[in-house]
Amino acid sequence: MRIITGRYKGRHFDIPRSFKARPTTDFAKENIFNVLTQYIDFEGATALDLFSGTGSISLELVSRGCAHVISVEQDRDHHRFITDCLKKLDTDVCVPLRGDVFRFVRSCKQQFDFIFADPPYALKELPTIPSLIMEKGLLKEDGIFVFEHGKDYDFSGHPNFIEHRYYGSVNFSLFRPSHQG
């Protein structure tokens, strides 16, 4: 796993073979971040990475200058791996939390400029996640939510949906809060 760009560009981290998590491919990650540059300036932004897995997205966000990143991962070994990677970067910008994403989202009172979620594709609650994020008001008014999912899902009918991108077998749906007025 490598960091694509920013302060830590090119840094590599070896993922243990025993991991169940599948990091977003470098190809897909690079392309979705290229798309995101038209929506958000990561420098100084606050970000939330849900179902962090290997921490690939959290590390990328730190490298791109986010002021504060919260990384939520339930698996003990994955959480430890993320924590170790952050120690190697010697950064305190990212807070790796070990816990249930749904419990975190329900209790979170903070708003973010950027939220990324990459749940296991077989997760039965997967289709509910975009609505949950929007209903809880976790995004700032101009914030952006990127949801990685399998090809069997279509969120284009969601009221906050703005676009869909896919790179190989990786699908991303992008959402924004509704603007009133």
Q: What pLDDT digit, counting tens, does each position of 77-132 carry? A: 999 999 999 999 999 999 999 999 999 999 999 999 999 999 998 999 999 999 99
Q: Where are the alpha helices (DSSP H) in the chain?
A: 26-36, 56-63, 76-89, 101-107, 129-135
How big is the CA angle at 145 (ends 45 and 109), to the nearest 5 degrees? 70
Task: Say what the pTM is.
Answer: 0.95
